[in-house]
Chain A
């Protein structure tokens, strides 16, 4: 247990987080909730409402305007009750799942409010060329798995969040995605991106794209790195190029 205590005390809790207020304004919903909602939407809602939320005649989930509800809690309740007399069935979801669905449906609107400022085709060329993004990320089956797959990034992240990520990666990195560095008792150094962790074990995808599960009791050293290994593109890309890349990434909605 000593290892665990040392680890936790080493990670100073961030009391003030730059960018937090901005995040609250542009996308009110935590990224993790949006992702929970995205997955639930794709299994429960997409058949009728479609990927863009506009497949039911007269209903556009993206518009943010609903005939029967206005607030989040009303939307939450409607998902639970369904709409009697229509094809909208009652949904049995837990509290967190409901919050996720509301967050995702609300974010669908946010994702589309900012007009495209760049050119998607140019953006794709930058991602695959000058940016070197695919040396770590993967898009639709191409590229490395070392960093998170971006094939659906346009469905789960708002444009502002994508741009922020490219210019200041560490501040917007999801804590689960942090890199870990472990040294086994035999002295072998293992680094990789964290996929999951509990008190006794950690699961990673290592720098060789292998899925590795480590027992903490087998390790001599174990550290979770708070700094993202992703470089900042602030100076690599011009503002126009950044706009192009964001515009391209927004088109990535994932394989259905």
Chain B
């Protein structure tokens, strides 16, 4: 052995010197310029502007038909597989439910290490023991766990470096989102909107895990907005933050969408607008101070979470350059906001809806509540939901996964708050006899009992300037898939049917599809290793990676 070592060591050293340093640390500067290294995927949404758009263009509308599966990684979990992986210099980091981290070779799927996090039995996830992914800074990965801990993990060794408790899991706080690293901080938010939590966004020092700031999404006594809550209803006001935000380095603002007020379906218990539920918050990235907010659905009686990815676009609006934010909301309206000020610029319905007749000049909905027992469009799951949208600077189009012709009947009931118990104030039902109101994606039977009677999914391409739907790709079943666009004008998407599809981003034409055998409940992403572009997506209980046939 000694002999071998002596021979190998100098050889290894010299090869290190010859090869350019590939495995450099992920600095904040690299995160800022993520689009300069499209071979990597460094944040949940592929960059701070969260466009889920890649400059890679080896796979084109012409050759996409030559995509073939290169590897598959089967998760050790039967939960919904909602993760978007990170790829850093040929290494893929992904999460498997409930809160494990896997490092593997992005070229062949072989695993380097698995970090298994043991989730507390106190946990009360509302909607699946899922996880959406990771953040990275330096050589450290950041994991938000189901039982509301933030864990720093050595990206090379897979060992935990620190673990801090963010909130009390037994009170209904949970985390499923991928954290966002900004400068030297790790920013997270908490889920728990069905348990009467008080939502917040918080930042932690990336090296020590010390909490630096925490901004509640429900203002306390004496704070502006507190008057929008009747009595002490604010104490259990919800406003969860369960999806990753975005960041504008020039404005130094970080944007986060907030969820429903509690209890979900009985607004009579919380008269008022219920700020800052169902809103987007613009926070100073250094202090967490609220710079502006925009509320999409005041006094929400439908569970229309504004938990979507804030998509940041620098564009021209009415002839002048403007910093825009594009937002297709669960409530069925597509919004254009000025992200420097929060000013409402435009809003259009993108699916059939009847809960509002439109938006006023400030973007506030004009409510048209339906008579008791009658269907409300969109239904519980919304016109869209947390599924990552995409924006292509090349086409100028915003792409969203939508649920069309879909309704629920909302039944309201008074409910007393009790810590750790579900606090929802009623229930939604389906207006379709025999249809499930929330068709489950967990070990979902592969039969679409939902059918055309209860609505269907679609990818919709929206022109942000006019609200015009440039094209639509309808599906028979619904879709919870995220979207990915590329600089070769491809759009990748999945859906509950389990097909993984490539569309022409300009026309919506189907260019390629393959069947993955399980629902796609995650966003696709792309990366490049050794000159080969891969497209990866989680489906069923496995992660699949595709590249062009040799």
Name A residues whose Cβ lies closer than 8 Å to a Cβ of B.
1, 4-5, 7-8, 11, 13-17, 19-21, 23-24, 30-33, 36, 73, 93-97, 99, 171-176, 178, 194-200, 224
Contact = CB atoms under 8 A, between A and B. Distances in A.
A19 B432 CA distance: 11
A73 B264 CA distance: 15
Contacts of A7: 452
A196 B448 contact: yes
A198 B499 contact: yes
Contact of A94 (B79, B407, B453, B455): B79
A20 B372 CA distance: 12
Interface string B142-178: 0000000000000000000000000000000000000
Given A1-B474, A198-B448, A199-B477, A94 B436 contact: no
14 contacts: A1-B474, A5-B474, A7-B452, A11-B452, A30-B430, A31-B434, A33-B436, A73-B421, A94-B80, A171-B433, A175-B450, A175-B454, A196-B447, A199-B497
A65 B436 CA distance: 25
B447 A30 contact: no
Contact of B442 (A16, A23, A24, A95): A95
Given A8-B474, A198-B477, A175 B453 contact: yes
A196 B451 CA distance: 9
Contacts of B443: 94, 97
A106 B443 CA distance: 22
A13 to B, nearest CB: 5
Contact of B431 (A5, A8, A17): A17
Interface of B: 79-80, 126-128, 373-375, 405, 407, 409, 421-422, 429-456, 473-477, 495, 497, 499, 510, 513
A174 B434 contact: yes
Nearest to B447: A196
A14 B499 CA distance: 29
A73 B420 CA distance: 12
B421 to A, nearest CB: 7
Contact of B497 (A24, A97, A99, A198): A198
Contacts of B436: 30, 32-33, 36, 96, 99
A242 B313 CA distance: 65
B429 A30 contact: yes
A97 B473 contact: no
Dominant secondary structure of chain B at its interface with chain A: loop
B433 A31 contact: yes
A1 B474 CA distance: 8
Contacts of A33: 436
Contact of B128 (A20, A30, A94, A196): A94
Given A97-B440, A175-B453, A200 B499 contact: yes
A227 B386 CA distance: 36
Contacts of B474: 1, 4-5, 8, 199
Given A99-B438, A176-B449, A199 B433 contact: no
A174 B476 contact: no
A174 to B, nearest CB: 4
A94 B442 contact: yes
B433 A224 contact: no
A50 B1 CA distance: 64
A108 to B, nearest CB: 18
B449 A16 contact: no
Given A17-B431, A196-B446, A73 B422 contact: yes
Contact of A97 (B437, B442, B475): B442
B257 to A, nearest CB: 21
Nearest to B127: A95
Given A95-B442, A176-B449, A1 B454 contact: no
A150 to B, nearest CB: 16
B442 A96 contact: yes
A14 B435 CA distance: 13
B429 A24 contact: yes
A176 B444 contact: no
B246 to A, nearest CB: 28
Given A5-B474, A30-B434, A195 B449 contact: no
A16 B451 contact: no
B405 A13 contact: yes
Contacts of B476: 4, 197-199
